[in-house]
Amino acid sequence: MFSGKPMKPTFKSYLPPIQTNVKETIEPPIKKLEPKLLPGEIVVNEVNFVRKCISTESGQDDLWGKLICTNFKVSFIPQDAPPKQMSQLSHLLLGEHDIPLTCLEQVVTVNDTRGKKKVLGSNQKLKFNPTELILYCKDLRIIRFCFDEAGPESAKKVCLAIAHYSHPADLHLLFGFEYQGRRYHESKGIPLPYHISGRANGSTTRRGLQTPIFDRPSDWDREIKRTGASEWRVCSVNENYAISQSLPEYCIVPVSLADQDLKRHSVYFTDNRIPLWCWNHPNGSALVRMASIYDPAQQKKIEQKVFTAITKSHPHRSDVFRYELDKNLPNIQEIQSAFVKVRQICVIDPFEESEERWLSSIENSRWLEHVRAVLKQSAEIVYCLDGKNASVILQEEEDRDLNCVVSSLVQLMLDPHYRSLIGFQSLVQKEWVMAGHRFLDRCSHLKKNYKEESPLFMLFLDCVWQMMNQYPAAFEFTEAYLIVLSDSMWIPLFSTFLFNSPKQRAQHLMDFAKNKAIPHGEDQIVYFPPVWDWSQQFSNKNQTLFNNPMYVGKGATCVQNGEVKTFRRTKKTYSSTLRGTPASLRNGLKGGEDTQPRRGSLVSELRPDFSPVKDESPSERFFRDWFSQPVDQQGLLIPLLMPSHVVLWRLFFLRWVPEACIPKGGIATAYHKLSQLVDEIEILQNQLRQYKGPSPDTTPLPSPSGPPLEQRRMYFKASSPNDPPTPPDFLNSSFPFTPVGNLCRRTIYGTPISKFLNGARIWLSTETLANDTV
């Protein structure tokens, strides 16, 4: 047992008694800026004390934080993040300040003090310490970072990392392959070798995906039955890509063409691409696309075989008309050049004081001219199919660019099914993805090849928007959906826009499944899904931004002459049904006032009015008759083509430009009110359905709330009597996007950016003057 005097303490505290509790004297820890990472995402390089420039001259609204490069994105993490914009479309896989590496067009470094600049490419060296980094994005954003307080070596390393990872040399280096492998095993509950931050939104089964992929005979067979193409059949002659690597394994051909004939003749077509059926009109005429025949000696013989087979498939044995799109439309280089010019005018160049000069510059870019040309060509083909009851062959050298654009637009004009959301997605899947459009090359996902890059899909989306702008009640989806779809091209996490052909997709996904130990026979859309399951990117609330409140769908009601009518479409024709509101009341105009817009139609390019004349051609009569009647939103649509009707797609080209942003203005204000009205109507309809009074004497009160909030289709919900009558403060003409912080101008009022960005290729040039002040 221990005994004796207590030992003296060996440690003496010299702190005053009030400071004895050391924990109370320690300051709160500095906020640690960490990125949110997806499965398989790793940080490659980072730099602290970076300033993200916001569009103000003083810089007082600039954000300070950490700039990070991962193997997927460029991420900026603010030290003190401002309140999130209510109007901003939130992405589940990307943060507010994130940019996918595949979205970067050019990476430009600047040194103010030495007056130097450099456009960085993969594996390049940087001989100066950058003071600024400017990122030019394919979605038209321009984002500027300054390294005033950052370490020079760290700034240089992060700039080089961003340039290196933004244009990988090989397809398998794109982040989607790493991400989807991790996501698949996580969804299956298989433990991973190490911890992963973040989690994706679950996998998609084919059963849950409503959009057909057209990689199975059943998808094509359903399309035959839907269009009534009884003289056409599903052909498996290209199974395992035995004939052509750029065609789908299954396609539709005339019943009268035998498989052995297709095999024998395929060698004479470019890339062995046999003719592809696209669509059948109820009158029996067919739309077919075809590559060129490169052997002149065999051309006439093979063409005769193909034409005869298509003629036999028509119930009236009508003639077949051929349209050579290579000769009639601009080539891919001209389309690319026009897009670069209009992008330069909208995003880089300052807005001129004279609006007339700015608009003429837009017209001189020729982008709108190309949009008009494609729409006009499509309308002429519509006349052949619908007006002349004749089948049409679209011919292009490779059948992979302009044929995709025109065939899709023709079907969009003729078939209301493709103007629904699921129908439109199936159209893109069928005519672009499975038909072998070169998304990998045209989108330039890998190292730059300027000869192959061209915005064909963007041209198509612009044409779709022109029709939506003219016939807003005919489409189930909104322009916000079209822009989100175009933005998805730059997110390399989905299989839709990553490949040049179905064969390339199948081969890479097969190798991917083997490398990631995915069981043999697993469905490809489970382990590397397409973009069409939007729940992977957006919440249910944000997906309601895709729903058009004005859509007149099949069976939808409208008020006509004071009576409630229902739109119904016969099975035999798309253009003979009642076309909605009377011409005298259309667009809110009376009597002859409504004739002016119609003079912008295709026929008006031939004659200034619609009055019949003695020498009127059948095509002129067709278009005159169509434009003289009220429009059937669920029938044939023909676009107006005068320059005053084909206009700049404002939301796409100007959404990041603060000068073009109208607070509480633009089409968003009408969308807000219409959404509230539709939501209120749907609540009332739901209440009527819930009403089950057994007799007039007993009237139970319906539920005042209507359907559950998460099941309501509109983004903006019905207003209450207490709500203010004016639009919300966050609503502007860029809704649901926000231009704040996405443009590296020296001032929000448009200081000539040509001084700051000058002297290089059309839109991707940079110069910082030494005497400029930030």
Burial degree of 12 (CB within 10 A; 0-12, 13-18, 19+): exposed
- Identity of the highest mean pLDDT range in 382-386, 508-512, 690-694, 770-774: 382-386
When pLDDT is cut at 50, 70 and 90, the band that residue 762 belongs to is: very low
Which residues are CB-contacts of 690 (< 8 A; sequence separation ≥ 6)?
702, 703
Q: What is the mean pLDDT of residues 173-178?
A: 94
Q: What is the mean pLDDT of residues 570-588?
A: 36
Between CA 687 and CA 534 the distance in angstroms is 30
Of 126-135, 579-588, 623-632, 693-702, which gets the smallest average pLDDT? 579-588
Between CA 24 and CA 760 the distance in angstroms is 58
Angle at Cα 38 formed by Cα 36 and Cα 40, nearest 5°?
130
Decide: helix, strand or coil at residue 301: helix
Give the N- to C-terminal CA distance of the chain in Å, as an integer.
Answer: 78
Cα distances from 446 to residues 99, 263, 449, 490, in angstroms, run: 16, 34, 8, 12
Give the pLDDT of residue 338: 97
Give the pLDDT of residue 755: 34
Give the pLDDT of residue 746: 39
Give the pLDDT of residue 770: 34
Q: What is the pLDDT of residues 53-80, one digit of tens each?
A: 886 566 777 899 999 999 999 999 999 8
Decide: helix, strand or coil at residue 384: helix
Cα distances from 593 to residues 251, 587, 644, in angstroms, run: 48, 10, 16
Secondary structure element (H or E) that encloses residue 373, with its range: helix 367-382
Question: How many Å separate Cα 318 from the centre of its chain?
Answer: 38
When pLDDT is cut at 50, 70 and 90, the band that residue 206 belongs to is: low
Q: What is the pLDDT of residues 275-329, one digit of tens each?
A: 999 999 999 999 999 999 988 889 999 999 999 999 999 999 988 999 999 999 9
Sign of the torsion angle spanned by Cα atoms 554, 232, 214, 460: negative
What is the DSSP code (8-state) at residue 366? T
Contact 598, 609 (CB under 8 A): no
Between CA 271 and CA 448 the distance in angstroms is 24
Between CA 568 and CA 577 the distance in angstroms is 8
Of 1-10, 343-352, 606-615, 674-683, which gets the smallest average pLDDT? 1-10
Between CA 218 and CA 235 the distance in angstroms is 11
pLDDT at residue 218 greater than cutoff 50? yes
Give the pLDDT of residue 761: 32
Average pLDDT, the chain: 81
Between CA 610 and CA 597 the distance in angstroms is 12
pLDDT at residue 432 greater than cutoff 80? yes
| Backbone φ and ψ of 520, nearest 5° | -65, 135
Q: What is the pLDDT of residues 626-646, one digit of tens each?
A: 999 999 999 999 999 998 899
pLDDT at residue 769 greater than cutoff 90? no
Q: Side chain identity at 550, as an amino acid letter?
A: M
Which residues are CB-contacts of 80 (< 8 A; sequence separation ≥ 6)?
63, 64
- Helices 367-382 and 402-414 cross at an angle (nearest 10°) of 60
Between CA 278 and CA 396 the distance in angstroms is 15
Give the pLDDT of residue 764: 39
Cα Rg of the chain, angstroms = 30
When pLDDT is cut at 50, 70 and 90, the band that residue 204 belongs to is: very low
When pLDDT is cut at 50, 70 and 90, the band that residue 722 belongs to is: confident
Give the pLDDT of residue 33: 79
pLDDT at residue 751 greater than cutoff 60? no
Q: What is the mean pLDDT of residues 381-407?
A: 97
pLDDT at residue 579 greater than cutoff 80? no
pLDDT at residue 618 greater than cutoff 80? yes
Q: What is the pLDDT of residues 138-168, one digit of tens each?
A: 999 999 999 999 989 999 999 999 999 998 9
As beta bridge partners, residue 732 has 663
Sign of the torsion angle spanned by Cα atoms 158, 162, 164, 170: positive
Full 3-state SS string of 333-373: HHHHHHHHHHHHHHHHCCCCCCHHHHHHHHHHCCHHHHHHH
When pLDDT is cut at 50, 70 and 90, the band that residue 609 belongs to is: low
Give the pLDDT of residue 690: 78
Query: What share of the chain in percent tops pLDDT 70?
Result: 76
As beta bridge partners, residue 290 has 395
Between CA 178 and CA 446 the distance in angstroms is 16
Q: Is the peptide bond before 736 cis (omega within 30 degrees of 0)?
A: yes
Of the CA atoms within 13 Å of residue 145, those in its CB half-sphere come to 30
Between CA 310 and CA 255 the distance in angstroms is 9
Burial degree of 748 (CB within 10 A; 0-12, 13-18, 19+): middle
Which residues are CB-contacts of 542 (< 8 A; sequence separation ≥ 6)?
89, 90, 715, 736
pLDDT at residue 723 greater than cutoff 80? no
As beta bridge partners, residue 767 has none
- Identity of the highest mean pLDDT range in 29-43, 125-139, 271-285, 691-705: 271-285
Give the pLDDT of residue 125: 85
